Amino acid sequence: MLVRAIGLARSYAGPAGRAVTALAGADLEAKGGEFLAVIGASGSGKSTLLNLLGLLERPDAGEIWFDDRRVSHLSRRAQARVRGRDIGYVFQSFLLISGLTALENVLLAARYVGGDRASATREALSLMERLGVADRRGHYPAQLSGGEQQRVAYCRAVLNRPPLVLADEPTGSLDDVHAGVILRELKGCVRERGASVILVTHRADAAAEADRVVRLEGGRLQPA
């Protein structure tokens, strides 16, 4: 999938009603089979950029295109369908459902594409085994460490083999060993499936694994 963002702008209400600009005309392109890292200072708008690309928020201005389809102007319902089918999102805050087990959380993704439950379960367990959390399949999020929750959240994001994977600080809660596992898995999405992977990170070692690195500064993207 070719992902293009053109002139994205997004502001929020700040203290005393003053607008805080997160993005100010940001342009971005990520091709299928490309691993792109976005770096920048804390508060520079990196998570806002991913939320817009993930169709979780609407830009104040600008457009987002997936291949030849403009998706930023679709209805909320249509965007939800696109998210379920085409986007895997690894959230920085995990966003696991507290009343579901680790395996049930991973399998949530399969609801968006239908298919055979048994096949989805086999794929989920295979993913969890590679990420080192298969033995925690029956545990609830409160019974998992932060690093385990992050790895479960990753499995949920990629279960459907989406053509676009957005990862917001996916190694932030992990030690070096498990961070390396996540990065290898992300590279596998690119090399083996031709997915577009956009990684937001503050870690130089994680960014170094990408094919290309851009910096978000002053609300705009530029080569790092």
User: What does the pLDDT look like over 15-69, one tens digit per residue?
Assistant: 888 889 999 999 999 999 999 999 999 889 999 999 999 999 999 999 999 999 9
Would the pLDDT of 123 be above 80? Answer: yes
pLDDT (tens digit, 9 = 90+) per residue, 159-215? 999 999 999 999 988 999 999 999 999 999 999 999 999 999 989 999 999 999 999
Residue 7, by phi and psi: left (phi above 0), alpha (psi -120 to 50) or beta? left
Fold of 32-58+75-223: Rossmann fold (3.40.50)
Q: With contact defined as beta carbons under 8 Å apart, do 39 and 201 qualify? A: yes
Tokens 């031709």, residue?
A: 194
Check: pTM over 0.75? Answer yes or no.
yes
Q: What's the pLDDT tens digit per position in 81-98?
A: 999 999 999 998 999 999
Strands 19-30 and 3-13: antiparallel
Q: What is the dihedral of CA 29, 31, 32, 35, to 10 degrees?
A: -80
Closest residue by Cα to residue 104 from 124, 122, 84: 124
Amino acid at 143: Q
- pLDDT at residue 114 in the model: 75
pLDDT number for residue 25: 95
